[in-house]
Amino acid sequence: MDVAPQGQANGRTVVLLHGKNFCGATWQDTITALSQAGYRVVAPDQIGFCASSKPASYQFSFHQLAANTAGLLDALKIQRATVIGHSMGGMLATRFALMHPERTEKLVMVNPIGLEDYQAEGVPYATLDSAYQGELKTSYETLRGYQQKFYYDNQWKPEYDRWVHMLAGLYAGPGKEIVSRNAAQTGDMIFTQPVVHEFGNIRVPTTLIIGQTDRSAPGANRATKEIAARLGNYPELGRKTAQAIPGATLIEFQELGHSPQVEAPARFNGALLKDLAG
């Protein structure tokens, strides 16, 4: 999506990068708020996700997805933008900022995964074949169960359902095999291509927005109980990351989880717009 500013344009562009269990459309309320504030907003679906193509053979890497994002900006004749990444999109936004600091006006990470190195923390590796078999079992019930536990602090609101149904539909149709294969590949990318060790190399203004009840930790289901219990401690991870990134700003939402832009859009968008204006 490429959404023009509504009303008085401010000449600035924001790129919104979705997570693994999300689509560009999940940013709906934030797109509206940014556009009304005068920003041009670009919210793509990454290759392998949602409405974008799902290749049978592709090198999924954060470097490649960052290069795709740069190519998209080239095609749209956008030289610089604020890059906002949520969940897996936070890892992608980090890689983009590291590869293209001259094009990154500001980096914003919203409850990004990858604030810890899951492999180094002791999470066992899952082969692509085993991950693929697991992804084939994805359904509305499994998606909701996972999101309710890790994203929303075991709470659920009816307005969350639309986003779960959107994802579940991808796994229910005739193309579920390639959807599952791409999902396994991007899961492998998250596990084998950590960005946490490079946070100190970020040289653009950075803000972390962290919902404190988030417990997201990809692969925790494969780990021992002891390892799983210490993963996904977002209050601690957010503060540690803010210290690691030079000059970073940390915004904490005490009672929100993995998707503050979905849980409390008005509050989230207000904080985001204030941060961008500063």
pLDDT band at 189 (very low <50, low <70, confident <90, very high): very high
Element (H, E) at 104: strand 104-110
Q: Do residues 93 and 83 touch, judged by C-beta distance below 8 A?
A: yes
pLDDT at 274: 98
Q: Do residues 12 and 5 touch, judged by C-beta distance below 8 A?
A: no
pLDDT at 28: 94
Q: How much of the chain is in helix, strand and coil states, percent to nearest 5? A: 50, 10, 40
Beta carbons within 8 Å of 226's beta carbon, 6+ residues apart: none
pLDDT at 50 over 90: no
| Residue whose structure tokens are 């693929």 | 132
Question: By three-state DSSP, how is residue 211 classified?
Answer: strand
Q: Do residues 84 and 12 touch, judged by C-beta distance below 8 A?
A: no
Measuring CA to CA, which residue among 142, 149, 83, 88 is closest to residue 115? 88
* Residue 263, number of CB atoms within 10 A of its CB: 22
Q: Do residues 196 and 218 touch, judged by C-beta distance below 8 A?
A: no
pLDDT band at 154 (very low <50, low <70, confident <90, very high): confident
* Level-2 CATH architecture, domain 2-277: 3-Layer(aba) Sandwich (3.40)
More confident residue, 157 or 81: 81
Task: Write the pLDDT tens digit of every residue in 223-251.
Answer: 999 999 999 999 999 999 999 999 999 99
pLDDT at 51 over 80: no
pLDDT at 161: 92
pTM summary value? 0.95
Kindly write down the DSSP assignment for every residue of 109-153, as one continuous string: EES-S-SS-TTTTTPPP--HHHHHHHHTT--HHHHHHHHHHHTST
Can you tell me the mean pLDDT for 16-34? Answer: 94
pLDDT band at 150 (very low <50, low <70, confident <90, very high): confident
Give the whole-angstrom CA distance, residue 250 versus residue 203: 16
pLDDT at 252: 98
Element (H, E) at 265: helix 265-277
Task: Write the pLDDT tens digit of every residue in 73-99.
Answer: 999 999 999 999 999 999 999 999 999
pLDDT at 235: 98
Residue % of the chain over a pLDDT of 70: 100
